Amino acid sequence: MPITDVDINQCDGESYLSAFSSSHHCDHSSTQCVPISNSGFRRGAYRCYCKPNFYPASGEVHRRNKDFFEGEIIERAYVESVLSGQSTFIHSFHCLPCRVGCEMCIGDEPCYVEYGLLLRSLVLCFQSFCSTLVVILIIVVFVLRKKRIFSSSMWVMLETILVGALFLYQTVIIRYFEPSVITCMLEPWFRGLGFAICYGAITLKIYRILAEFQTRKAHRVCVRDKDLLKYLMGIITVVIGYLLAWTAVIIDNMNEGYSVVAHEQTSMGLKYVICRALWWDYVTEVGELLFLLFGVFLTYKIRNARSDCFHEKETLAWSIYVEALVSLLMYTIRHVVWSNLQPDYIYLLYFLRCQCTVTIILFFIFAPKLWYHARPPEIMDYQSGRQLSSCGDVRDHMPEAMKLHEAITSNGDVDFSDINLGDMDPEDIRVSTLFPL
């Protein structure tokens, strides 16, 4: 066989002409050498292919839609660099890494949607600011808990509403981070608990007004504060049980190789990571809407009840209406056009939903109370207090001694568990002794 017909393998590996092995000039960090068979006894009989997740840096190669460099061109450039005393030729024959997440690419174009960090950071800062305000409001309500305007609204339930709102605010903060198994499992917990605590407390306050408004007996029915707390604990317990079952199913599916994280694609072909939509999500959404529909039914039943001077009945009703309408709109968007939206738009929708529900609801409920506390009405006497619809509101606008006297003189049946002696000051106790029992 003529020597001109013998192939030279300059690439890495063993060959029968081992003197030429590993003599190629491919960039070891980004390319790999592949020999060209039947090329004869000559240098440059190889190609430098880009490694996986790399693309050619040379513009000429890129324009020809190739992912390799010819060995002959590399060898010629090597000789020229040796003669000129320069060793920078290799920089013209290397490959660049693809964008993060790209399995293959032909250029520097991204394969995944790049998050708008400025938009997300602004949303995160504003959401954190709202969370801080809620914490401050929790402290303010606790400090002013013995004031008539807060004690009449059952300050413990007001604190509960704030705690639920704080949980709901955290759902947007969690969504700031790229979806992962942890975030996809944390967000439903904060959403579920926050919804149960916040709107459970609002619905129970409406139920209390309804129970007292529908009384037709001589004996006045008063739903006690501790009864409402028991009902609320029951709602929270049911939600926790549901979330535990959901978590168990998710973990079991993950053990079988079913991931809770999915990859979607925008209309422009860019991929993005999202928490996978499960059938449990539909159950959760329907459950929330049914609970809100029950709240709407309760607000309809108390439409003729007289409102107090703080308009709490109206604020509670509007809180339910706003959440029901916004949630229905949000779930409709999610199941109709969700797959065509970019992650930043999805994140912005969750933020707007939180602000249009939680923030507005907190404004409805607490703004009038803080306003009346700062600037109390000029006329607020015991007689006007007796005209209020809610027995809890009526009695709590009066001193504890007046509650005791009214309960005895109205029907002679006193529930002393409703008389909080701890909130009575010495003057109230002295006044109570002046009323004939």
pLDDT of residue 165: 97
355-392, pLDDT tens digit by residue?
Answer: 999 999 999 999 888 888 887 765 444 444 444 333 34
Domain boundary assignment for the chain = 3-97, 117-374
pLDDT of residue 377: 62
CA distance 146 to 149: 8
CA distance 12 to 109: 32
327-358, pLDDT tens digit by residue?
Answer: 999 999 988 877 678 889 999 999 999 999 99
Other Cβ atoms less than 10 A from the Cβ of 267: the count is 9
User: Which residue bears the tokens 């007996």?
Assistant: 217
Other Cβ atoms less than 10 A from the Cβ of 160: the count is 22
Radius of gyration of the chain (CA): 36
Q: Class for domain 117-374, per CATH?
A: mainly alpha
pLDDT of residue 22: 76
Q: What are phi and psi of 112, to 5 degrees?
A: -110, 155
Q: Is the distance from CB of 372 to CB of 149 less than 8 angstroms? A: yes
pLDDT of residue 386: 40
Q: Which residues of the chain are under the pLDDT cut of 50? A: 62-63, 217-218, 379-418, 422-423, 436-437
